[in-house]
Amino acid sequence: MKIGYIRVSTVEQNEGRQYEAMKNLGIEKFFEEKISAKDINRPRLNEMLEFARSGDTIYVKDFSRLARSTKDLLDIIDLVNNKGIKLISLKENLDTTTSTGKLMVTMIGAIYQFERENTLERQREGIAIAKKEGKYKGRKEIDYPENWTEVYNKYKCRELKGTEAMQELGLKKTTFYKLVKKYEGK
């Protein structure tokens, strides 16, 4: 079976170029997600790796769609190779089942990781400069939701689990626990 993996980092980004690159390959099943590749804990990636069987071929537009770190990329490649699955990157035009392909993937993965780390470093430097100049204030602080006290009290009395409280408040995990910490004066 021919399988396509499509990934963009955010909801705002468009995955159209990746579909376009694969349109003439006869892909039978696509796995798409809009999430960062900072690690391999991605629902659709894991679903695809579980779904794929020996003899299948997974296509990606380029290896950066699979992983941003060399280690993660090599771990994914080892997993698919051990399952007898072929992995092909269209941009790099590489087949990971050959020794040359494995060597090239290692080098490409290292380059992607290097680029990612450089981007993050430049971003941190830019933020530091903007802070010095008073142009960067950080994210806007999130106010407590209207039903905060009621839900918080249920959470503290163990009537609600953390995930249930987050759902009732409409908050993400990090925001919820940040507000709990602030509310408790810690």
**Residue in 9, 36, 54, 69 annotated catalytic:** 9
* Residue 69 annotated in active site: no
Q: What is the 3-state secondary structure (H, E, C) of the chain?
A: CEEEEEEECCCCCCCHHHHHHHCCCCCCEEEEEECCCCCCCCHHHHHHHHHCCCCCEEEECCHHHCCCCHHHHHHHHHHHHHCCCEEEECCCCEECCCHHHHHHHHHHHHHHHHHHHHHHHHHHHHHHHHHHCCCCCCCCCCCCCCCHHHHHHHHHCCCCCHHHHHHHHCCCHHHHHHHHHHHCCC
Task: For strands 94-95 and 86-89, give the pairing.
Answer: antiparallel
Cβ atoms of 148 and 184 closer than 8 Å: no
Residues assigned a catalytic role:
9
